[in-house]
Structure 1
């Protein structure tokens, strides 16, 4: 069965990783799939910024620790150059505070290098489709750290948007949410996008955090 995250054209990926063996393994794994394409490889923050501006990737797969800086800190600069890009951070180890930094900077997720390459492949597809990807062991703590940033929102959500928000709060992906609501995937994505806009959130994760703060979710 084809992935629900498959685009009409391959997802264009900028890989930022300074260890050659790791980069080669990731490239080989991702490029086995016709819906994923590595358009450039970089080994530093400076090269990543130059390549992002040149190739305008859909997804930047960004190592957290690079020779000339922190990949998380670089997220804001990347998004300033390519506002439509989604940044997925690769890390040797993760914590709630690091994951919260990624979310606050506008990143789309954090995935551990110890995870399998198939999980990385699916994570790339999910962030390309507009979702966020954080490990379940980090999700609750990240939400806790983000809660309380935006008060007094959510009163203008429609009943359908509230249903979508509830499903997001339960941890469902956009594909699962669409199935639960009985709508097409694109319609489900539209519901999620309107929820984000009305809550003033930059990501699904932040939308859930805001909703909890406002009492829209238990």
Structure 2
């Protein structure tokens, strides 16, 4: 039976999830296993920092989308505050670039919300044992990113997303890109969001920087 390596007791889990129904479902799912124990729940990154020190969990199950920002940005501060804890990110969707950001920040893995409860429980156990957990679909990209082999990073971009990226590289605003593409502003925002996700960028400027470095704007 997997147990907390430090205490010999069940793996202690801190949930960081702002939606009450989702948090309760996760708590019920994890608590049904005798080797897992949910010791607390935080609704934001700010609360997570306080609760991590208070509960001293073995695993922090961290939602990527939180009211006060991208959960990935909380990984390093959490690890600094509580080095023994390991962080497992929970995401609605993810690309290899996003998964690589989790790994680069010191996260122990990423599990999708679409995964079954048994898969989630297994991921928490494995992370609690010291393993790193990424799906096969994402792992190759994570390894490439961490070893500097980013060739082909733009392969996941659709033709419209590539066009959007080129227009960003020209310095056009969202409204100007919408006009150039002949689509609604909200549609353009969605294109930009997906471009940032696929390039693992935190901003439009970073996306353009990555694109120039990788030759995607040539």
Structure 2 length normalisation: TM-score? 0.65
- After the TM superposition, which segments of 4 or more aligned residues of structure 1 sit over 3 Å from their partners? none
Report the 3-state secondary structure (helix = DSSP H, G, I; strand = E; otherwise coil) of the residue aligned with 1:119: helix
| 1:101-143 CA-partner distances (Å, limit 9, x unpaired) | 0000100000000000110000000000000110110111110
Report the 3-state secondary structure (helix = DSSP H, G, I; strand = E; otherwise coil) of the residue aligned with 1:60: strand
Who is 1:30 aligned against?
A: 30
| 1:29-54 CA-partner distances (Å, limit 9, x unpaired) | 10011111111100100000000011
| 1:57-112 CA-partner distances (Å, limit 9, x unpaired) | 10000000000111100001101110011000000001011100000010000000
Segments of structure 1 that go 5 or more residues without pairing to the other structure are 150-218
1:9 maps to 2:14? no
Report the 3-state secondary structure (helix = DSSP H, G, I; strand = E; otherwise coil) of the residue aligned with 1:73: helix
* Larger CA Rg, structure 1 vs 2: 2
Which of the pair is proportionally richer in helix? Answer: 2
Q: Work out the CA distance in 1 between the residues paired with 2:3 and 2:44.
A: 29
Who is 2:125 aligned against?
A: 125
1:96 maps to 2:96? yes
Segments of structure 2 that go 5 or more residues without pairing to the other structure are 150-218
Matches within 5 A, 1:79-94: 79-94=79-94
| Root-mean-square deviation (Å) | 1.2
Structure 1 length normalisation: TM-score? 0.65
Who is 1:68 aligned against?
A: 68
